[in-house]
Structure 1
Amino acid sequence: MGRWMVRAKLKWRILRSQHRLFKDYYQSLIPLLNMPLSEAPLMAMDLEMTGLDPVRDQILSIGLVPIEHGAIPLAGAEQKLVQIRGSVGQSATIHGILDNHLVQAVSIEEAMAWFLSRTRGRILVAHHAPLDCRFLQQDILAIYHQTVMLPTIDTLMVERLRLLREHSVIKEGSLRLGACRERYGLPIYSAHSALTDALACAELLLAQIAAMGGARQLKVVDLLAKSF
């Protein structure tokens, strides 16, 4: 998607949206598009789910980590556990979240309201963004009866384009979050915690920006155009 198309799609959503919440959400993003990445407010995110199907499976946790002025203020990092219908089942072997962990979890309605509030006025960042966005869009549609556009910088897509400039073939597994971080000399974190993976994604983006020539030269819309 070209730079102009990102802006055009947001403006179209503002005109067509029937819910004031989403009009405000989109409007808060428009001024960010031409900001240098060094100045733009971003929000790295990660989800843990019961599976990979956004129609059948459910969100278990959401991790959010802000990026401000090219730094990561950890005091602003947050995670929410989310109530689900039924049991986590065998998916617990992947993410480590058990049914008893969800006793004090928030409802999906509370989680989506929190997510929209915390990410308003920030460009989202995620590794393999389409998967997380589809889950969020599915739940937002069910709750608010409106589809939502979530402009997101995808660190996986950014890395894929960087690797293709150097190699004609990308090895299997080389675009996983841990493998991407390893190429930049970033530390290994234990995987499958939404908050930890959101932090890992935020750090990866900053490393990618530095490798591409720095955040002052790049604008938000440059990476959005690569990710969409």
Structure 2
Amino acid sequence: MRHFYLKTRLQIKAALCKQEEIAEYYQALIPLIAKPVADIPLMAFDLEMTGLDSQFDQILSIGLIPITAGVLEVAKAKHLLVKIVGSVGNSATIHGIVDQQLAKAVSAKQAMDWFLTQTKGHVLVAHHAPLDLCFLKVEMIRSYHQSLAFVAIDTMAIERKRLLRKHDVIKEGTLRLDACRQRYNLPVYAGHNASVDALACGELLLAQMASIAGNEKLNLADLLG
């Protein structure tokens, strides 16, 4: 039933969409919805931003890494720097990106064109996906003058659901990407780099899937919450 609802929703959005690029993005997703997750092309991604408010802060960088047939394609990982209005300010202490690095960065519109091209025909994967998707949706409206409904697996939401089956209360910090990875004995990476965090998120999803289902195939609905 969940698959049918999502597929129908995408079909309607594709039919009503006035922007060809976005309509084609929806159409590329429709055939994937009913497939097992292991058979769906996935794209782990991460954004670095100047802050956490999607209405006022800006995207600085985007990291992508495809997951095909349960394998992270590290050689195909990509990273893009995005120009902003003004200075990165004190946010540089978090993400390490300074104003000089953005001199040759692409515009926000070019970044959204690139993101659509790179992720077309993929289901997205992110840790705390709603935050990153809010920034993408705001920028899509600025670039294309209409919103885009992404299909994304949220590794944080998966972990929250798993932990709540064992505990009544989840301690602060327990759902951070590094903390989640530790529970699956995954290696420690330096955080706050879009490419590295996309890789870390992709590895976490594969570990979660193996823990949830073993050798059994999961449906997309099992991971969308």
Q: TM-score range by the shorter chain?
A: over 0.9
Give the 5 Å matches for 1:132-151.
Answer: 132-151=132-151
Q: CA deviation at 1:38?
A: 1.7
CA contact (8 A) 1:209 1:215 kept: no
Residue 30 of structure 1: aligned partner: 30
Amino acid paired to 1:111:
A
Q: Secondary structure at the match of 1:63?
A: strand
3-state DSSP class of the match of 1:146?
Answer: coil
Aligned positions of 1:16-165 closer than 5 A: 16-165=16-165
Q: What is the distance in 2 between the residues matched to 1:214 and 1:65?
A: 23
Corresponding residue pairs, total:
225
Question: 1:85 and 1:36 mapped to 2: Cα distance?
Answer: 42
Supply the distance in 2 between the matched residues of 1:191 and 1:205 (Cα, whole angstroms): 17
Whether contact under 8 Å (1:3, 1:221) holds in the other structure is yes
Q: Cα offset for 1:216?
A: 4.2
The whole-number CA distance in structure 2 between the counterparts of 1:109 and 1:215 is 41
**SS at the partner of 1:185?**
coil
Per-residue Cα deviation, 1:47-86 (whole angstroms, up to 9, x for no partner): 0000111111100000001000000111110000001111
Q: Percent of pairs identical after alignment?
A: 53
Which residue identity does 1:203 align to in structure 2?
A: E
CA deviation digits over 1:126-178, x for unaligned, max 9? 00001100101101101111111011000000111111111111111100000
What is the DSSP-based 3-state SS (H/G/I as helix, E as strand, rest coil) of the residue aligned with 2:170? coil
**In the superposition, relative to structure 1, how do residues 134 and 215 fare at CA in structure 2: closer, same or farther (>3 Å)?**
farther
Paired AA for residue 212 in structure 1:
I
Q: Secondary structure of 1:67's match?
A: strand
In structure 2, stretches of 5+ residues that fail to align are none
Residues 3 and 222 (structure 1 numbering): CA distance in 2 closer, same or farther, change over 3 Å?
Answer: farther
Deviation of 1:205 after TM superposition, in Å, equals 0.1
Q: Which is worse superposed, 208-217 or 107-116?
A: 208-217
Shift of the alpha carbon at 1:9? 1.9
Q: Structure 1 residue runs of 4+, over 6 Å off?
A: none
**Per the alignment, in what secondary structure is the counterpart of residue 13 of structure 2?**
helix
Amino acid at match of 1:74: V
C-alpha deviation, 1:217, in angstroms: 2.0
Could you state the TM-score of these two structures normalised by the residue count of structure 2?
0.97
- Partners of 1:222 and 1:94 in 2: CA distance: 34
Aligned match of 2:208: 208
TM-score by length of 1: 0.95
Q: Secondary structure at the match of 2:197?
A: helix
Structure 1 stretch 78-87 or stretch 207-216: which is displaced more?
A: 207-216
Tell me how large the CA RMSD over aligned residues is. Answer: 1.3
Return the alpha-carbon distance in structure 1 between the equivalents of residues 71 and 142 of structure 2: 35
